[in-house]
Amino acid sequence: MLNVKPPDYRFCPFCGGLLITKADTDRLRRHCDACQWTYYPHVGASISAVIVRDGKVLMVKRRHEPFKGTWMFPSGFVEFGEHPEETAIREVQEETGLETETLQLFDVFQSEDDPRRPGHFIFFYRVKTIGDTLRNDDDENEDIDWFDPRNPPEVGWKSHRRVLIQLASEIDRKLQEGS
Ligand SMILES: [Zn+2]
């Protein structure tokens, strides 16, 4: 279990009343006495798209904090009501200009280093894409490019570094099998 804390709200989002702390079975929770609302923190979710072609992986360079200027897999938060697969298809289109042909769940991590949504789930998908022309999302990213996972650029997010190591060892294994 990760040692992460959810946002600590002081006021009720429905009536604006001051929240008190109340025992709820074995946990302490924020509670509004005025409208009887109890705050159950939500765990967020995001996706990251692992797009590999000819031994190279597609990455984008972050324009904003956190980890501004480092590289990552095309990623984004899951919108309310979206299935993570739908998020992956949308984010791939927005951040690369490519269309998704197929996608497959690769791994799930809990974010250890994103202060925006502490401890959120990151669904990594392997995405097979259609199209050859990359289109950078200038609002989100400074650049987009293909990299050999064994020789990656500077990557900020811990989970993305882990996935790169997995991809690099896959390539090494394939090379050994081929030789
Ligand atoms: Zn209230």
Tell me the CA–centroid distance for residue 12 and ligand 1, in Å.
Answer: 5
pLDDT tens digits for range 150-176? 999 999 999 999 999 999 999 899 889
Assign 85 to helix, strand or coil: helix
Assign 80 to helix, strand or coil: coil
The average pLDDT across 72-87 equals 98
Question: Under CATH, which number does the domain 45-178 receive?
Answer: 3.90.79.10
Residues, beta carbon < 5 Å, ion ligand 1: 12, 14-15, 17, 32, 34-35, 37
pLDDT tens digits for range 7-22? 889 999 999 999 999 9
pLDDT tens digits for range 46-79? 999 999 999 999 999 999 999 999 999 999 999 9
pLDDT tens digits for range 130-139? 999 999 999 9
Report yes or no on whether pTM surpasses 0.95.
no
Tell me the CA–centroid distance for residue 34 and ligand 1, in Å.
Answer: 5
Say what the pLDDT of residue 40 is: 93
Enumerate the active-site residues.
142
> What is the spatial distance between Cα 137 and Cα 135, in angstroms, rounded to a whole number?
7
pLDDT of 179 strictly over 80: no
Q: What percent of the chain has pLDDT over 70?
A: 99
